[in-house]
Structures are given as C-alpha cells and as structure tokens.
C-alpha cells in the first residue's frame, strides 16, 4: 500500500501497521555492531543473566527504528518529504529476542506548511506493543508530508 497524503492525515486518525515482526538475537547483535554499541546488557548473555532482566535486552534504538519502520509502508511510503524531529521517546518495558512487535500510529496534529504550499506538517504518535499487549516503545514524530497533487485520485 502507498503512503497517505497530507489530506488523509487528520488529527485523530489511527493507522495500524499491517504486520508484526519477531525480533531476533541476530537483529540485536547486528544492530549493536553496526552502531558500535558494546553495551554488555545487549551483547553478553552471561553478564545480562546477573541483571534484573536475566537476559540480554534488545537495543532500544533498534526498537525505535523498527517501530517507525513498520509504519512506513502504509503511512509515509512515497508521500514523506522529510522527518522533522522526534520527541518524548520512551521505552516503558524491555524488548527481548523472541518478542513479536506490532505498531500503531495516531495522528495527534496536522497543519498546512506555511513555507511549502505542496506539503503539511503532521505529528504522529507511534506506539509499539509486544505479543502480550505490553507497550514497549512510544515516540512522537513530526514529518513534512506531501499534499495530494492535482489530478491524483
């Protein structure tokens, strides 16, 4: 499915990603390696066993990227000009390898751009939940979205 035009993103609209994604140990190890994050809590099972979590945590920045990435196909694919920023990012519960995540996005604000007549600014609230319905990540994101061009249905 293509992304949504600015006009299709009124305040209050809720968009669920059309799929879920099971996080793997390989995802976590690869992401930590690519970002040079050597935190033992993510990579060392023996160390993590001695923490309150009892096992390695998935890197929270992977969780953030996955949450937003899961929304792209039916929210911003082909209709996004640019991300403008992210705020209020929280991780209320940990993610572990084997957890399956789903993403829901709510439009919390929407306004026409003052400087770009072909675009508008939309604020999204993304939430990821695990297989047990527990919220594991929240993020508010502002994006510059294209308006529907004349003649496009």
pLDDT band at 22 (very low <50, low <70, confident <90, very high): very high
Per-residue pLDDT at 35: 97
Average pLDDT over residues 122-146: 98
User: Phi and psi (nearest 5°) for 86?
Assistant: -130, 140
CB 20 within 8 A of CB 101: yes
* d(C-alpha 90, C-alpha 65), whole Å: 13
Q: Is the pLDDT of residue 5 over 70?
A: yes
pLDDT of amino acid 139: 98
Tokens of 47: 């160390």
pLDDT band for position 153 (cuts 50, 70, 90): confident
- Residue with token string 């140990």: 25
pLDDT at 150: 85
What's the confidence (pLDDT) of residue 80? Answer: 97
* Tokens, residue 16: 């669920």
- Mean pLDDT for the chain overall: 96
What's the whole-number mean pLDDT along residues 112-124? 96
What crossing angle do the helices spanning 25-34 and 60-71 adopt, rounded to 10°? 100
Structure token digits, residue 61: 């920045």
Please give the pLDDT value at position 134. Answer: 98
Confidence of residue 106 (pLDDT cuts 50, 70, 90): very high
Please, what are the domains in the chain? 6-146 (3.10.129.10)
Q: What is the C-alpha separation between 97 and 57, in angstroms, rounded?
A: 8
Structure-block tokens of residue 32 = 């930590």
């Amino acid at each position: 499915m293509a992304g949504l035009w600015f006009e299709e993103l009124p305040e209050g609209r809720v968009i669920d990603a059309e799929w879920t994604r099971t996080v793997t140990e390989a995802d976590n190890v690869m992401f930590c390696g690519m970002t040079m994050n050597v935190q033992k809590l993510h990579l060392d099972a023996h160390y993590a066993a001695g923490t309150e979590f009892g096992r390695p945590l998935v890197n929270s920045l992977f969780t953030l990227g996955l949450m937003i990435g899961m929304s792209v196909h039916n929210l911003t694919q082909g209709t996004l000009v640019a991300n403008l920023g992210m705020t209020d990012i929280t991780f209320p519960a940990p993610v572990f390898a084997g957890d399956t995540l789903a993403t829901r996005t709510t439009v919390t604000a929407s306004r026409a751009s003052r400087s770009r007549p072909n675009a508008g600014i939309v604020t999204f609230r993304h939430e990821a939940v695990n297989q047990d319905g527990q919220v594991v990540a929240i993020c508010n994101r502002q994006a510059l979205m294209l308006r529907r061009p004349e003649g496009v249905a």
